[in-house]
Amino acid sequence: MSEPALPFLPFALPEIGEEEIAEVVDSLRSGWVTTGPKARRFEADFAAFLGDAGLHCVAVNSATAGLHLALEALGIGPGDEVITTTHTFTATAEVVRYLGADVKLVDIDPATLNIHPAAVEATITPRTKAIIPVHYAGLAANMPALLALAKQHGLKVVEDAAHALPTTSAGRLVGTLDSDATVFSFYANKTITTGEGGMLVTRDAALAKRAQVMRLHGMNRDAFDRFTATVPSWYYEIVAPGFKYNLTDIAAALGLHQLKRLPAFQQKREQLAARYNKGLRGLPVILPPPPAPGDTHAWHLYVLRLADGAPIGRDALIEALYAAGIGCSVHYIPLHLQPYWRERYGLQAAMFPHSQHAYEQMLSLPLYTRMTDADVDRVLAVLHRLLG
């Protein structure tokens, strides 16, 4: 008799515990299912986790929303240019277009896969108003260099930290650096999840206030304020044409307990990445770049690159992994290859050689806290069979 087939090993799964479930149930029973006391608590807890009393945290329904709100509050608009990496998900760039501004895409550092400061510097024009660095896969971008460039040229910096909780740069948590705003993601496959959700973090009180107003239709008072006041407080004013970007209490209920578990989640992700690193030695692959000494990599993704001359191509390798019951993905198909960005800005692969080469060789292996050592070993065994 043949052995039974192993269950499919997915690329990512969230880890939701009984505390999160109980908190969600409590929200449902409380009557506060939209933005209310738990969203406020989550904002306060997030600021406390970052450990900087000068920070303002604004909970939103996605990191995309947070990036849009940050750029809007900074006054980005038609005629402006914003520089970001081609090697990212489209959300990083599309928010610039929401505001009528133009995106300038630049190449990555081939070692770190993060936005290359030299490429940023070469792209700055009189129209440039902001830079959006992306901390790819959970490894900090070169923030000292990027912040110095921004200061030199009078540019705003909004960090796309969707992958970067709890990443550090030069010993400081991403979210506490000297940028104008930082935006985190709590999507289902991120290092903590609220299902859908995000957090905008800033030291700028005016930026935070603008984001709070704009996340809920441009109202000068949110529903929690109006419905919990002890005197009649039905009156509100629309002070701007805002958006619908608020985080619900049901989602925040998950976040309250996910945040408490983040240190343990981070430790597990580091252990899994180390097991991959050890097990892949000797194969024709390029391992993910490590963090700088003393810094923390969030290990949102484990991105493997095939070395030149590997016995199998990237696409065939992914198909073979799927045939063996192992899910994987590619992060990302660069923006310069996507029809909208390519056609709008006349982009060609030759303009982004490092991103293009990395894309052609990369795949993201399964990495999530519910994985076991046996799960990692299963992936490694298939990779050794295919690449050894």
Helix axes 314-323, 373-387, angle to 10 degrees: 130
Across the range 274-278, mean pLDDT stands at 98
Across the range 326-348, mean pLDDT stands at 98
With a pLDDT cut of 70, the percent of the chain lying above it is 96
Nearest Cα residue to 379 out of 269, 307, 273, 265: 273
Identify the pLDDT of residue 161.
99
- Which one is the CATH code of 18-259: 3.40.640.10, 3.30.870.10, 3.30.420.40, 3.30.70.3270? 3.40.640.10
**Sign of torsion over alpha carbons 17, 22, 23, 29:** positive
Residue ranges of domains in the chain: 18-259, 262-387
Catalytic residues: 190
What distance in Å separates the CA atoms of residue 238 and residue 219, rounded to the nearest whole number? 5
Average pLDDT for the chain: 96
- Bridge-based pairing state of the strands 285-286 and 302-306: antiparallel
pLDDT tens, position by position, 5-58: 899 999 999 999 999 999 999 999 999 999 999 999 999 999 999 999 999 999
Between the alpha carbon of residue 22 and those of residues 198, 280, 369, the distances in Å are: 21, 40, 21
Across the range 66-85, mean pLDDT stands at 98
Do 18-259 and 262-387 come out as alike in CATH topology?
no
Identify the pLDDT of residue 231.
56
Q: Where are the beta strands (DSSP E) in the chain?
A: 56-60, 81-85, 102-106, 128-132, 156-160, 168-169, 172-173, 181-185, 198-202, 285-286, 302-306, 362-365
pLDDT tens, position by position, 174-198: 999 999 999 999 999 999 999 999 9
What distance in Å separates the CA atoms of residue 257 and residue 23, rounded to the nearest whole number? 8
Residues with Cβ within 8 Å of residue 327, at least 6 apart in sequence: 8, 9, 10, 11, 12, 321, 366
pLDDT band at 3 (very low <50, low <70, confident <90, very high): low
With a pLDDT cut of 90, the percent of the chain lying above it is 94
pLDDT tens, position by position, 201-248: 999 999 999 999 999 999 987 656 655 555 567 788 999 999 999 999
Identify the pLDDT of residue 236.
87
pLDDT tens, position by position, 143-165: 999 999 999 999 999 999 999 99
Across the range 64-75, mean pLDDT stands at 98
> Does the pTM exceed 0.75?
yes
**In the β-sheet with 81-85, what is the strand arrangement from edge to edge?**
56-60, 198-202, 181-185, 156-160, 128-132, 81-85, 102-106
Quote the CATH superfamily of domain 262-387.
Answer: Aspartate Aminotransferase, domain 1 (3.90.1150.10)
DSSP 8-state assignment for residue 53: T
Residues 104, 129 contacting (CB under 8 angstroms): no
